[in-house]
Amino acid sequence: MLNKKIEDAINAQINAEMWSAYLYLSMSAWCAKTGRPGMANWFEIQFREEQDHARIFFNYVLQRGGEVKLQPIEAVPQEWKSPLDVFESTLAHEQKVTALINNLFALTTAENDYASQSMLKWFIDEQVEEEENAQNMIDNLRMIGDNGYGLFMLDKELAARVYSTPSPLAGK
């Protein structure tokens, strides 16, 4: 059975993951609107990944005999100044999500919930990857600067990104 404090915290995390999905869908729309279909694709895949993260938490609550309580999703930003701005916003957001996951892990440690700690290990590793990916995009955009050809090539590269189901959902 899932501890009530942990159940509540995971329900809050489900909401945070859905907000993240909504944020990335908004970023995808902005990129598409500004003529960057490859970047729009990159963010659409991020959108799908965040939905999957919410589903992993959702399934876990149910698996542990808890109750999922979905809450409204608050509005997200819809405008950015540039591709660099959108990816800097992405990195800042991923750092916030990392803090949320770390706080959740700290709670499971305080509550001696080893099963939840085991489940959260995947998210801790995932956040390292998410922050690294956002930082790499920032580094690339800073290197490219205002070079139109460089932006075109990066956008073309991002159009090739494909979605893959996260391992905790594989086969489900």
Going from N- to C-terminal start, the domains of the chain cover 4-70+77-164
pTM of the entire structure? 0.95
pLDDT in tens, 24-50: 999 999 999 999 999 999 999 999 999
Q: Which residue in the block uniquely carries the two structure tokens 């698996």?
A: 63
Under the banding of pLDDT at 50, 70 and 90, the label for residue 172 is low
For residue 170, is pLDDT > 90?
no
- Asked whether the beta carbons of 108 and 57 are under 8 A apart, the reply is no
Q: In terms of C-beta density within 10 A (0-12 exposed, 13-18 middle, 19 or more buried), how is residue 170 classed?
A: exposed
- Tokens in use for 77? 């930003």
- Nearest-angstrom CA–CA distance, 65 and 63: 6
Rg (CA), the chain: 17
- As a whole number, the mean pLDDT across the chain is 96
Task: Return phi, psi of residue 145, to 5°.
Answer: 60, -130
- Nearest-angstrom CA–CA distance, 51 and 61: 15
Does the domain at residues 4-70+77-164 carry the CATH identifier 1.20.120.1200? no
pLDDT in tens, 56-112: 999 999 999 999 999 999 999 999 999 999 999 999 999 999 999 999 999 999 999
Half-sphere exposure of 6 (CA within 13 A, CB side): 25
